Structure 1
Amino acid sequence: MTETAEETSPDILVTAEMGSTEGVLTIGALCFRCALGRSGLVHDKREGDGGTPLGRFPLRELRYRQDRLPAPETRLPLFPIAPSDGWCDAPEDEAYNRPVRLPYPASAEKMWRSDALYDLVTVLGHNDDPVVPGAGSAIFFHLAKEEDGRLKPTEGCVALRLEDMLQVLALCGPETAMEIRAL
């Protein structure tokens, strides 16, 4: 069986100058400013370095806060976030760079946040097949924090404003990948 144009999604391209905490995200004919990690783009991602990794990463799934937003239009696998959801960021733990239930005995990021950053959060296939301890965890495509009209840097993720994210997600399916490149 072949895919029709309706079932095929364009890939996402993120480009930025090395060292910049903002980039440009393009999908099809759409183009948006996006936030990047506080250390900009990095060739060799390491846990806690604040860098957004260069490379091509599949979009694994979309998680969302159903108490704050209706299920967005997308063909990505969709999962509601629960208050007990976490993501292990402890390189020495067997669940490193995997979802966990909180409380968790090792360090883990809370997915249920008081701010809106993870109201929509797409898991990128970075360091997950196989997982390499210390090579970076919780690299997501999520909502941006904005201050005085500027997108604030992330901890290593790619982030968009809500209205931009909704347009992008509507074009995404299980075959969509995000390519992050330096200019």
Structure 2
Amino acid sequence: MGLRFQGTVYPCTIGKTGITSHKMEGDGATPRGTHRIVGMLYRPDRMARPTDWAKPIGPLDLWSDDVNDRDYNKLVRAPYPHRHEQLRRAGPLYDLIILTDWNWPYAVKGRGSAIFIHQYRRPGFPTEGCIGLSRRHLHRIAPRIKHHTRLIIA
């Protein structure tokens, strides 16, 4: 159906294995439930700050997805010896990231990390569990979203 925000429905993509009530690290699924928006990250070298509460993504910023690390499902900085996602990428996928509270701030090991709202690769192409939007739609929503806005995945 899409992502509904302030009365408009935006086409979106979800995880490659669909929606689940039993999210696990690496399963490629989007977790069902009501989640809150808890942050926003952006590439200051590629775009203007979308909101006054958005934080810039620096060249050393990473996201831990290593279930055996104490910083699992948190923003970390390089050098970082554990498994992680690079936030500052060559492509535009993570130029703007809206953070959800999935399994955060007190992560349960293995329950899944980093459920973001970010730019999709192309229409209809699934994510690894996140919500993907077109660049245009993501940039339209970002300045109007608030901390603790609900994200409901039915």
- TM (norm. structure 1) is 0.81
> How far is the alpha carbon of 1:163 from its aligned partner?
1.0
Residue aligning to 1:48: 26
Q: 2:4 aligned with 1:26, yes or no?
A: yes
| 1:172 aligned onto 2:151 | no
Q: Which runs of 5+ in 2 are unaligned?
A: none
Q: Deviations over 1:93-146 (max 9, x none)?
A: 100001110121110110001111100001110001421000001111111111
Equivalent residue of 1:31, what SS? strand
Please list, as runs of the form range in 1=range in 2, the aligned pairs for 1:108-147 lying within 5 A after superposition: 108-146=84-122
Which of 64, 83, 95 pairs up with 1:107?
83
1:92, CA displacement in angstroms? 1.1
* SS at 2:63 equivalent: strand
Q: Which has the larger radius of gyration?
A: 1
Cα distance, 1:83 vs structure 2:
1.0
Amino acid at match of 1:47: E
1:154 has 2:130 as partner? no
- Cα deviations by residue, 1:51-97 (Å, 9 ceiling, x for unpaired): 0000111111110011111112x46x210001100010011110000
Amino acid at match of 2:19: L
The SS at the match of 1:37 is: coil
* Superposed CA offset, 1:15-64 (max 9, x none): xxxxxxxx510012111110111111111000000000001111111100
SS in 2 for 1:34: coil
TM-score (norm 2): 0.95
User: Matches of 1:67 and 1:26 in 2, distance apart?
Assistant: 29
What is the CA-CA distance between 1:175 and the residue it aligns to? 3.0
Q: Name the CA distance, whole Å, in 1 between partners of 2:111 and 2:142.
A: 27
How many residues are matched?
A: 154
Runs of 4+ in 1 over 2 A off after TM superposition: none
- Rounded to whole Å, the distance in 2 between the matches of 1:170 and 1:114 is 24
Task: Give, as a single letter, the amino acid of the residue that structure 2 aligns with 1:96.
Answer: Y
Higher strand share: 1
Contact 2:30 2:130 in 1 (8 A): yes
